[in-house]
Structure 1
């Protein structure tokens, strides 16, 4: 592309692909997500390779794996020497902005309700305009950070409020200046408070159904939670519609790469696991929506089956915009494959992972590594458990092939691939508490899979941009 397109990335939270009509859900209508899909490209193999908020977001914005950045769990402070997507785009003439949930800092942790703050400077990874917050689930009348250690409380529901901040930013950007904007609502993440306005519940059917892989013992709790979950998805859909309308109203739609995605899915009761759980190797946790629209590039209701992990998005966006990614990036530039070019590079498999039993602390248990290809999903837990599923023939993952003699050669092949992918990251499947020395008392990253690191507040080595 010769002209630099604007980028607007709507990064939702905990929306799994399978709960959207575009990916097969039949119980709700999402006209605005559907329209984006009809006018753009739907990615059928976008994988949240570490299906937890902080690890995913770090991969997205640095193009580096958790084994390198140290983002193994939530509420970890990002090193100041990380070179982020915003650093690169701002140095190439873009005005950059982050609006909404961040979760790449400690914020007010361990208190995770109400106000928190992400300080100005490198804690914001180079974003020039900021109306973000680290983490809270106050969906009605919540807060965003301003500058000078000040917060501002929004009025109404989060999706509407964040769009108002989006529109203010776009209004202030000169028409001749391209912009790269991320807006990240916390929906459809669970909350102990109110989930969504009543008008979205009114659009749901009286009775909801769950997939066959939700066992009877989980169905009652899961049906109740699914109603809240779908209501929040409808709110995000309307948010996207308002955003598209504003781009059209301001004459920017034709030169804007509009992206809709999510940081991970939710188990929804599948496999007998709690509705709001993620961090599992099952499709409900790792398969996320990814839809892009840019006239002349991503259009015509096309499906792209390229295996895409979070670390690939940063370099691929650079490739689309004619920008050289920094040498720190570990992901691949898949932009040619995304555009359907013949003989374009693709990866055959991606490494999937989870580092412990809980989201926010290093507690031993549930450590696993896995491999996801276009056709199969394999995982091995630290305790020896293994799984192998044919996700084409068995999308609900109800028939574990790991003990099937006919699948032994495939399982061996997947294990070999897993070993190679782990070796590339200098990764070891080990207890969560083995990573304790990766963090200091302020939850700053001081070590990674390659050894001790320098001062976590050092500036980046900007020569790596060249």
Structure 2
């Protein structure tokens, strides 16, 4: 039976990897995975926010189907997840690191977390915020840094508007959350690697705030990095922007170091011969482009993600696939690789044909990305946003606006010129709107299942 290792790197841009053509950043271990596996160049999230994206990965379902339409909405424990399906197949299922399909603010992190089909759970939805497996690991192994790794709780950060700040940590890399994820993952493999396993190793970095370990502060020279696109650069903000970008790159490279240790263990233990490795992110990061930081928008910086899959008995060798794929496609792919059942409620499509170098005519030639944003907590008003992104166009519509946006990516790859109202694009716009509507209808929720005619 094939083992599964899923690696997610929170808020990692699709182009923040050397193997994706970025000449400023060093990611040798992820590059190595790309050389051995298959890299998908046009992978997109299901939602540019943590909770709905991760819920889609777990279920293989769109946000409008599983109900986690945005942050602050818990994933129902009635949903069928791929860890449940693999557990039925006899796998030891485990999650180490950030899960974030439950609200983490105002939750008792010492209480048992809903299992969602996992047999082993070490959940830390933030970095150094709560009393959780990570902070307890630091207390046991690096007690001198127990206070240093602490940051203010999430709700405090939102109120103080510090969520996208960066800073120099007063703890070394050996006490970082990323180091803990890799160490705990290797410990799991040492204990349970002899039995069929599915392990999701989930790194929080480089999610904001960008806190850099003290022994990594000089890893990148801010002045050697390019400046953001479509961003107003002034004498007052340039140094800050460069410093934040350097901090982000440092955290990406630190995660890469930790992934390298995990991959090395797979090789040294012989597990790599029967383990499929899947690497991706839940969403991107603006990193100063458009003058923004974070995610939560429909531009490519926010919705486009990296994706690499390496599987035994599947020819990789650095092959590149340009087909449109989405984050939740990993769920049915895992089911196929392990011989597990796939419920009819699963809406994603397996990557197995593409991994084998075959065409997949049944695959939708576009991505559907969804997000709901809260506009008023007083009357719980929300705005619904839907995006269709194919190779040539990006169309986005909102529930509170009569007009949307349409970009011709062939002529306008940076998405600067909205042609929604351009009469020469009317037929294309209408066709894309129809495709979006059809996709939404085709993926209506079919849970709970129909048990009788009436």
Please report the RMSD computed on the Cα atoms of aligned residues, expressed in angstroms.
2.9
Residue 124 of structure 1 aligns to a residue in which SS? coil
State how far apart, in whole Å, the 1-side matches of 2:354 and 2:427 are. 29
Does the alignment pair 1:159 with 2:178? yes
CA deviations on 1:229-283 (whole Å, 9 max, x unpaired) are 11110111111111111111111112211111110001223233x212x121110
Q: Within 5 Å, give how 1:307-346 maps onto structure 2.
A: 307-343=324-360, 345-346=362-363
Equivalence for 1:434: none
Separation in structure 2 between the aligned mates of residue 293 and residue 90 of structure 1, nearest angstrom: 22
- Which residue does the alignment assign to 1:205? 221
Is the contact made by 1:98 and 1:181 (CA closer than 8 Å) also made in structure 2?
Answer: yes
TM (normalized to structure 2)?
0.83
The answer to whether the aligner puts 1:178 opposite 2:196 as a matched pair is yes
Q: 1:417: which partner in 2? A: 435
Structure 1 residues 206 and 70, CA gap change in structure 2 (3 angstroms): closer
Cα distance, 1:214 vs. partner? Answer: 2.6
Deviation for aligned residue 1:213: 2.5
Residues 404 and 267 from structure 1, CA distance in 2 versus in 1: closer, same or farther, beyond 3 angstroms? same
In structure 1, the residue matched to 2:308 is 291
1:409: Cα distance to partner?
A: 2.0
Unaligned runs of at least 5 residues, structure 2: 143-174
What aligned pairs does 1:282-431 form with structure 2 within 5 A after superposition? 282-343=299-360, 345-357=362-374, 364=381, 367-381=384-398, 382-426=400-444
Mark the CA change 1:47 to 1:20 in structure 2 (over 3 Å): closer, same or farther. Answer: same
Q: 2:27 maps to what in 1? A: 30
Q: Which residue of 2 aligns with 1:10?
A: 7
Task: Pick one of 261, 270, 273 that aligns with 2:289.
Answer: 270
How many residues matched?
412
Select 2:261's aligned residue among 239, 242, 250: 242
Q: 1:118·1:124 contact (CA, 8 Å) conserved in 2?
A: no
- TM-score, scaled to structure 1: 0.81
Moved more, 365-374 or 297-306: 365-374
Q: Deviations over 1:323-369 (max 9, x none)?
A: 22123312222321232214553212222121114799996466421
Q: Secondary structure at the match of 1:355?
A: strand
2:103 matches 1:103? no
Q: In 1, are the aligned partners of 2:222 and 2:243 still within 8 Å (CA)?
A: no
Distance in 1, matches of 2:203 and 2:379, equals 27
The separation in 2 between residues aligned to 1:164 and 1:172, in whole angstroms, is 12
How much has 1:27 moved relative to structure 2?
1.2
What residue ranges of structure 1 are gaps of 5+ in the alignment?
Answer: 427-448, 454-460
Counterpart contact for 2:324–2:366, Cα < 8 Å: yes
**In 1, are the aligned partners of 2:93 and 2:120 still within 8 Å (CA)?**
yes
Query: Hey, what's the Cα distance between the residues in 1 that align with 2:359 and 2:190?
Result: 39
Task: Describe the shift of the 1:76–1:117 C-alpha distance in structure 2 as closer, same or farther (beyond 3 A).
Answer: farther
Structure 1 match to 2:115: 124
Distance 1:307 1:117, change over 3 A: farther
5 Å matches for 1:18-167?
Answer: 18-107=15-104, 109-110=105-106, 116-117=109-110, 119-120=112-113, 123-133=114-124, 135-138=125-128, 144-145=132-133, 152-153=137-138, 155=142, 156-167=175-186
Q: Structure 2: how far apart are the matches of 1:362 and 1:205?
A: 47
Higher deviation after alignment, 215-224 or 252-261: 215-224
Distance change in 2, residues 1:407/1:24 (3 Å)? farther
Is the alpha carbon distance of 1:116 and 1:324 closer, same or farther for their aligned partners in structure 2, counting shifts above 3 Å? same
**In 2: Cα distance, 1:397 partner to 1:325 partner:** 37
Contact 1:74 1:359 in 2 (8 A): no
- Following the alignment from structure 1 to structure 2, what is the Cα–Cα distance between the partners of residues 138 and 62? 28
Confirm or deny: 8 A CA contact 2:51 2:71 kept in the other structure. Answer: yes
Aligned to 1:432: none
1:414 positional shift: 1.0
Change in 2 beyond 3 A, CA 1:370/1:392 = same
Alpha-carbon distance, 1:390 to partner: 3.2
Write the deviation string for residues 371-414 of structure 1: whole angstroms up to 9, x where unpaired. Answer: 01123211112323422223355332223333443323222211
User: SS at 2:425's partner residue?
Assistant: helix
CA distance in 2, matches of 1:338, 1:302: 9
3-state SS of 1:99 partner: strand
CA deviations 1:438-458 (Å, max 9, x no partner) are: xxxxxxxxxxx789x8xxxxx
